[in-house]
Structure 1
Amino acid sequence: MELAPTVRRLDQLSSIGSDPTGGLTRLLYSDEWLTAQKYVQEEMAAMGMTTKFDGVGNLFGRIEGKDLPNETVMTGSHIDTVVNGGNLDGQFGVLASLTAVEYLKEKYGQPQRSLEVISMAEEEGSRFPTVFWGSKNFVGIADNEEVKDIKDGQGKGFVDEMRRQGFDFQEQTRRDDIVAFVEEHIEQGSILETEGDQIGVVTSIAGQRRYNITLKGQANHAGTTPMSYRHDAVYGMAKIVTLALERAHEIGDPLVMTFGKVVPKPNTVNVVPGEVLFTMDCRHTDPDFLIEFSTQVEEMMKEVAQDMGLGIEIDRWMDEAPVPMSEKVYQTIENCAKSGGYKYRVMHSGAGHYSQIIAPVYPTAMIFVPSIGGISHNPAEETNFEDLVNGVQLLADTLYELAVANCQTKCNGLSKNTSYGVS
């Protein structure tokens, strides 16, 4: 496969929203975001695709199938970035999809099933306090009321910015033609690189529970308050964090737990902290285990607070269940990885992706390629060129099996009559 088009497109797209520090900033409904979407649209059209935007800015490029035009195999990723992010997260998946479809079109002509590439409007939630706006609209579950009053850091309204770029709320409809969805992405972790694997075949996306926890004690003088008299909120937090993380280490993969933010009050050197806010992020691929473990941690927090004479408030503000991928789709990916001779790993994703929004509606799976050092959301984000090549080739091979080969007898039994949802 010739990767020159991907390199050219990656260089061009990475110049749109480039940051002087070397990173990439392309936020939803910014001018840079619209310029990038229009560039992708031009590349789609140059390949002979029919293109269109939906009401919120998701971009679609389509090649009509010759035998089963009303059955669509879709691939793609998102075009937005975090602030000062890398040049692979999201946009590599879009460009890999373009290259894979272009390769199949040039080699085999018109596919049996329709092939479609999507450049999703938004995943990251980096500008406005909302996430998965593009994919939620795509599957028809977006709540328009949630975004009507939200603003970015400069006070610009979500709806005003959406309309400024020529988009508006759309009818919440759901397509009935999509028989498979494949997303390619960098791993954003270090497992593949550490284990020497070339490809990750993703079978599930971990569920997440996120908390804001507030411990309340009593602020007092650091020099005149004996240790036995104190109601130190940070001391209570330290006990909670130690007990929880020790238990998480005992259990091990796929459980991960992070205490990432700490805000003590009054946050000064010579005052016993009377209050502390801290966060907890807990993830696992088994929904029952995730609930059981995090509930046990909640009870432990309350016991520690009671023993130390502290007040406690626990706010679980995110509760996302794990999302399994479609067995039919990920087995197709795995079969292609075996045939291609790749060293691959069947794995879950600890990070969230828009595939978790799509998978409950359409048969979906993901392909991971290694990330050097596991670094992502950072200008230093990088993947070896050979790994990028492998990823694009495997995506093309997978799309061939799903859309180009004799779909009456192949494609792992996928059909328009497949019951939508996880299979």
Structure 2
Amino acid sequence: MELEKTMSLENTFDQRLKELSSIGSDPTGGMTRLLYTDSWKQAQEYVKKQMESMGMTTQFDKVGNLFGRVEGTELPNETIMSGSHIDTVVNGGTLDGQFGVVAALTASQLLLEKYGKPRRSLEVISMAEEEGSRFPTVFWGSKNFVGIADNDEIKDIEDAEGYKFVDEMHRQGFDTNEKQIKRDDIKAFVEGHIEQGSILETEHEQIGIVNSIAGQRRYNITLKGEANHAGTTPLNYRHDAVYGMSKMISKALDRAHEIGDPLVLTFGKVVPKPNTVNVVPGEVLFTMDCRHTDKNFLSKFTKEVEDMMRQIAKEMGLGIDIDLWMDEAPVPMDDHIVKIIEKKAKEGKYNYRIMHSGAGHDSQIIAPNFPTAMIFVPSIKGISHNPAESTKLKDLVEGVKLLADTLYELAYK
């Protein structure tokens, strides 16, 4: 099947994206649409109306995930699903998450108008939350969808203004009295998303077919030395925590550069104490974020870095505490669906590459439970989580077209 790049497809997609982007627009630019706020609920209600206008039956689950469904004519108990999350980061862009929702709506509408009802059931999901921007929890939508959410986790948490998670959930008409039951009808989930990186743009490619999501290890590392006078303490007498940190970071990054892609290593936060211009820093907390697509390599590399840090701390007379607070294994995408997407990309002469995702997505929660794959479109300058987040309309539409081609193969054949 070939789906033509018509103005109606482009206009329908563009209009939906603009209308949805107006809900939660931030006065300072970009969008702020956080879980269980009024703008979040308004956005979900907008998506619900769009689903119903396409003839889909709609329903919310108990936590606010929204589903729009068309029953299959021959295999109604086999469901092909697409979508993403509806929430944003604070002062974020208009595409992260939202593109996947609008793309799924538009691709489904195109198929229903052109081919009628599918053989298998076709379903669009607008997930409640992925970002963790309001409350200290992430993937609340997808974790509930696959039945692994922990209700105890959200029982007592609140946002920065003191609003309790449970109270805000109840205010919008949702609840978590019982654990969500995992569905057994999902045969494929395909998520469209912006890349949030610069590879596709740099390589002049319009489509990324994701075959895995990188694993992540995140650390808080604390070095303790001795604070002292900056003018009267000779260098050889010091136990300078920041000097020790700088040695560790430099050595770790040099090693990471030697290894290269797909390994990435980031030291993104530094908190020295006492953080004063004329005092030798006696303590410093810094973070480390390490990602790779191979679980064994990720473990081996981070162990190497940990050992190196402890050795440097010992040599410099520093105390060290290494706290590994996130350890997410890499998540492979379903090989069968990846091959279907690549087949449709070749048939449609899309300009594409097979790639991994360095960022986390709802798909990493869904993939261990249901066959899953992702389609990326380029991000201009790789910018995301920022009002400047943008993708050329023609590239967004190419992503919608390939998603429609893929859903046709999965739901209609």
Question: In the alignment, what sits opposite 1:206?
Answer: 214
After superposition, give the CA deviation of every residue in 1:204-231 in whole Å (9 maximum; x if it has no partner): 0000000000000000000000000000
The runs of 5 or more residues in structure 1 that have no matched partner are: 406-423
Question: In the alignment, what sits opposite 2:227?
Answer: 219
Instruction: Name the SS for the 1:104 alignment partner.
Output: helix
Question: In the alignment, what sits opposite 1:139?
Answer: 146
TM value normalised by structure 2: 0.97
2:354 aligned with 1:354: no
2:250 aligned with 1:242: yes
Inter-partner Cα distance in structure 2 for 1:206 and 1:197: 21
2:58 aligned with 1:58: no
Say which of 103, 119, 124 aligns to 1:117.
Answer: 124
Alpha carbons 1:64, 1:114 under 8 Å: kept:
yes
- Give, as a single letter, the amino acid of the residue that structure 2 aligns with 1:253: D
1:78-97 equivalences in 2 (<5 Å): 78-97=85-104
2:315 aligned with 1:307: yes
Inter-partner Cα distance in structure 2 for 1:161 and 1:331: 42
- Give, as a single letter, the amino acid of the residue that structure 2 aligns with 1:65: G
Say which of 38, 46, 70 aligns to 1:31.
Answer: 38
2:331 aligned with 1:330: no
Inter-partner Cα distance in structure 1 for 2:168 and 2:180: 20
2:324 aligned with 1:316: yes
2:413 aligned with 1:402: no
2:77 aligned with 1:70: yes
Alpha carbons 1:63, 1:115 under 8 Å: kept:
yes
After TM superposition, where is structure 1 displaced by more than 4 Å over at least 4 residues in a row?
none
- Give, as a single letter, the amino acid of the residue that structure 1 aligns with 2:113: E
- Give, as a single letter, the amino acid of the residue that structure 2 aligns with 1:213: I
- Give, as a single letter, the amino acid of the residue that structure 1 aligns with 2:100: G
After superposition, give the CA deviation of every residue in 1:335-378 in whole Å (9 maximum; x if it has no partner): 01001101110000000001000000000000000000000000
Alpha carbons 1:94, 1:118 under 8 Å: kept:
yes
Question: In the alignment, what sits opposite 1:252?
Answer: 260
Question: In the alignment, what sits opposite 1:103?
Answer: 110
- Give, as a single letter, the amino acid of the residue that structure 1 aligns with 2:366: I
Inter-partner Cα distance in structure 2 for 1:132 and 1:389: 27
Alpha carbons 1:138, 1:174 under 8 Å: kept:
yes
TM value normalised by structure 1: 0.95
Inter-partner Cα distance in structure 1 for 2:14 and 2:331: 33
**Percent identity between the aligned chains?**
74
Question: In the alignment, what sits opposite 1:162?
Answer: 169
Instruction: Name the SS for the 1:118 alignment partner.
Output: strand
- 1:172 shift after superposition: 2.3
Say which of 12, 17, 30 aligns to 1:5.
Answer: 12
Instruction: Name the SS for the 2:49 alignment partner.
Output: helix
After superposition, give the CA deviation of every residue in 1:97-117 in whole Å (9 maximum; x if it has no partner): 000000000000010000000
Inter-partner Cα distance in structure 2 for 1:227 and 1:171: 59
Question: In the alignment, what sits opposite 1:418?
Answer: none
Question: In the alignment, what sits opposite 2:3?
Answer: none
Inter-partner Cα distance in structure 2 for 1:298 and 1:42: 52
Inter-partner Cα distance in structure 1 for 2:324 and 2:228: 30
Alpha carbons 1:3, 1:99 under 8 Å: kept:
no
Say which of 174, 194, 200 aligns to 2:202.
Answer: 194
Instruction: Name the SS for the 1:36 alignment partner.
Output: helix
- Give, as a single letter, the amino acid of the residue that structure 2 aligns with 1:214: T
Inter-partner Cα distance in structure 2 for 1:103 and 1:404: 13
Question: In the alignment, what sits opposite 2:191?
Answer: 183
Instruction: Name the SS for the 2:290 alignment partner.
Output: strand
Inter-partner Cα distance in structure 2 for 1:254 and 1:171: 37
Inter-partner Cα distance in structure 2 for 1:172 and 1:198: 37
Inter-partner Cα distance in structure 1 for 2:40 and 2:393: 26
- Give, as a single letter, the amino acid of the residue that structure 2 aligns with 1:61: G
Question: In the alignment, what sits opposite 2:54?
Answer: 47
Say which of 393, 396, 401 aligns to 2:401.
Answer: 393
Inter-partner Cα distance in structure 1 for 2:43 and 2:206: 29
Inter-partner Cα distance in structure 2 for 1:165 and 1:389: 33
- Give, as a single letter, the amino acid of the residue that structure 1 aligns with 2:216: Q
- 1:6 shift after superposition: 1.3
After superposition, give the CA deviation of every residue in 1:86-135 in whole Å (9 maximum; x if it has no partner): 00111111000000000000000010000000000000000000000000
Alpha carbons 1:234, 1:264 under 8 Å: kept:
yes
Alpha carbons 2:149, 2:179 under 8 Å: kept:
no
- 1:256 shift after superposition: 0.1
TM-align CA RMSD? 0.6
Inter-partner Cα distance in structure 2 for 1:227 and 1:258: 28
- 1:238 shift after superposition: 0.2
- Give, as a single letter, the amino acid of the residue that structure 1 aligns with 2:158: K
Alpha carbons 1:82, 1:377 under 8 Å: kept:
yes
- Give, as a single letter, the amino acid of the residue that structure 2 aligns with 1:278: F
The runs of 5 or more residues in structure 2 that have no matched partner are: 1-5
Inter-partner Cα distance in structure 2 for 1:180 and 1:124: 23
